[in-house]
Amino acid sequence: MKTLKLRIKDKHATQLNILAGSVNFVWNYVNELSFKHLKRTGQFLSAYDLATYTKGAGEYLNLHSQTLQAVTETHAKARKQFKKAKLNWRTNNLKAKRSSLGWIPFKKTAIKHISTRQSGKKCLKSTLQFSLAKGKKLTIDLWDSYNLALYTINTCELVQDNRGNWYVCVTVKEFPKTACGTGQVGIDLGCKDSAVNSDGDKLQTKVTHQYAEKLAIAQRAKNKKRVKAIHAKIKNTRQDLIHKFTSKLVKANSLIVVGKIKSTSFTKGKLAKSVYDAGWFEIKRQLDYKCANAGCHYIEVNEAYTTQTCSCCGSRQDSPKGRSALGIRVWFCRSCKTTH
């Protein structure tokens, strides 16, 4: 199973905002209904029970019946996951203190791929059709960077980001397999260089400092729209760099070994900003699913004492230790007479 995220053209934003308001109405209704039933009986309503109360509402809200079912299922799952009697209220009113981003779920039977066509030399554009109430259809155009014609669509969600842009998140069952290489490589994660492999290639994702001055100007001017645009630029640039780095590794190697390191271990001090900017979790996440797709072996190893242990005999007696010895780059192991 894989999820593809594709950008929807802005001309559909008004219609999607209206549908998102209807989805929020259903969410708030089942949220309140479930909470009242819990207070009265001490038991939660299941997704199946909630679906009986929303039956027929799609005719008035212009939503497909399976969209209503998807909302109730998501509500029941989220309530169980977060262990809450009542979840947050959803509203797409921008003037509200806490507004929710748009969200419209669809199931497989309500989705139809119409076409994928060439637009320009490298760009593809696709058209998807979604079923609404009373046989009505929602047809949207989107920029297709994956070529949806190669995939089998399972489920789909239309989601909105904090800048008001809409995206299609499509889950697919089948996707083209890629071939891995024959080499072997180890990757060391760090702050100065986000990742350095044993072949000497480096990945630098420190994008935040490049836009720090522009971001500060926008924040002082209280230009929220500009601030959101800069943060989106930073995120997209970092994602692009990581994608190119990980794809190159998978295509060239059959074994990839990465140090098992957690970002949360370094985010409580002065290194927090650098660690977040390095994107260690995203690097490992992409390597994990890309290796699984290409048939490449992906292993995470514990880094504890790896810089202090002799690779020949396993001794740590003569190796440099502590902060005072961080500057030492060459040391001699007396047990096996090896220079490291």
E strand segments, the chain: 2-8, 103-106, 111-119, 123-131, 137-144, 153-160, 166-172, 183-189, 195-197, 202-203, 253-260, 297-302, 332-333, 338-339
- Report whether pLDDT(176) > 70: no
Question: Which tokens sit at 218?
Answer: 């926008």
Domains of the chain by residue range: 1-176, 183-302
Amino acid identity for residue 93 in this structure: N
Residues 253-308: tens digit of each pLDDT:
999 999 888 777 777 777 788 888 888 889 999 999 889 888 899 999 887 887 78
Q: Which residues touch 257 (CB under 8 Å, ≥6 apart)?
A: 184, 185, 186, 187, 299, 300, 301
What pLDDT is recorded for position 248?
Answer: 92
- Report whether pLDDT(112) > 70: yes
**Comparing 316 with 218, which gets the higher pLDDT?**
218
In this structure, what is the dihedral angle of CA atoms 83, 84, 90, 96, given to the nearest 10 degrees?
-120
Burial of 53 (0-12, 13-18, 19+ CB in 10 A): middle
For 39-107, give the DSSP string: HHHS-PPPHHHHHHHSTTTHHHHT--HHHHHHHHHHHHHHHHHHT-SS-------TTSSSPPPPEEEE-
pLDDT band, residue 174 (cuts 50/70/90) = low
Q: How far apart are the C-alpha atoms of 156 and 130, rounded to whole Å?
A: 10
E strand segments, 212-271: 253-260
What pLDDT is recorded for position 142?
Answer: 93
Mean of the per-residue pLDDT values of the chain: 88
Question: For residue 108, which of 167, 171, 150 has the smallest C-alpha distance?
Answer: 171
**Comparing 108 with 307, which gets the higher pLDDT?**
108
What pLDDT is recorded for position 104?
Answer: 95
